[in-house]
Structure 1
Amino acid sequence: MTSHRLGGTLLALAASLSVVLAPTADAEPRTSTLTLAVLGPEGALHVVRLLCDPPGGTHPAPVRACRELAAAGGDFDELGREDGMCTMEYRPVVAVARGDWDGEPVRWRERFANPCLMSMGTGTVFDF
């Protein structure tokens, strides 16, 4: 009979620990940390750090950039503005993002025909 009581006690203890150790909805959000780089048309390299939750880093407009990324669900291909016009000059630029967004790894790279098209396609995130 003692083994039944001990087994019941261990089962109750395991159940209570699983409740205590289970993640809650109030758990702290994960900080998103990104290194963003732009290789400009003349070969100039610009690199900034963007932190979200809370916004910060060396990005000149971290609050707006984090808000745009959040609206895009962290998907860099969903960034950008829908209005505007650019000239058709060919001055290629490359935008690169590495790091993590909400705990998920980010590895993104895109080539644009000119800086204006990059700005149209990425909004504030690569505006530095």
Structure 2
Amino acid sequence: MAILPFAACLMSLSCLAPAQPPASTLQLTSHDTANHIGAVVLTCDPPGGTHPHRDKACAVLDGVDGDFSRINARHQACTLIYAPVDVTAAGTWRGKPVSYRTTYPNHCAADRDSDGVFGF
């Protein structure tokens, strides 16, 4: 009676398409001491949203499975001017909740140390 499992498969449609990872949607914000506020939406799987470099940002986050603390800074010189920038990320990464917050010494460092994820 091998036909019963096949019929069950067809009725549920679960055997017809590979499982897709849950979409990833993140709200990214930055706020500096001059009261400049930036906010973008980043969606991945597929890349989208309002982030100006969504493909690169999604690739960076994909490489660390959405764990912002594991992002490797890119090699780039930044000024030593101290103008703190608070950044946040909130949302989901492949179905898992994300809540991240940190402070960088300036906008250049935020862009460099997040490998462009906070480069908006």
- 2:89 aligned with 1:97: yes
Q: Which residue of 2 aligns with 1:113?
A: 105
Following superposition, the deviation at residue 94 of structure 1 comes to 0.6
**For residues 47 and 118 of structure 1, what CA distance do their matches in structure 2 show?**
14
User: Bigger radius of gyration, 1 or 2?
Assistant: 1
Give the TM-score of the pair, scaled to structure 2: 0.82
- 2:56 is aligned, of 42, 64, 74, to 64
Give the TM-score of the pair, scaled to structure 1: 0.77
Residue 67 of structure 1 aligns with an amino acid whose one-letter code is A
Following superposition, the deviation at residue 66 of structure 1 comes to 0.3
What secondary structure does 1:100 align onto?
Answer: strand
More helix by percentage: 1
Q: Which residue of 1 aligns with 2:33?
A: 41
Any unmatched runs of 5+ in structure 2?
none
Q: Which residue of 2 aligns with 1:3?
A: none
Any unmatched runs of 5+ in structure 1?
1-14
- 2:77 aligned with 1:85: yes
- 1:28 is aligned, of 20, 23, 26, to 20
What secondary structure does 1:28 align onto?
Answer: coil
RMSD: 2.4
Number of aligned residue pairs = 114
Residue 98 of structure 1 aligns with an amino acid whose one-letter code is A
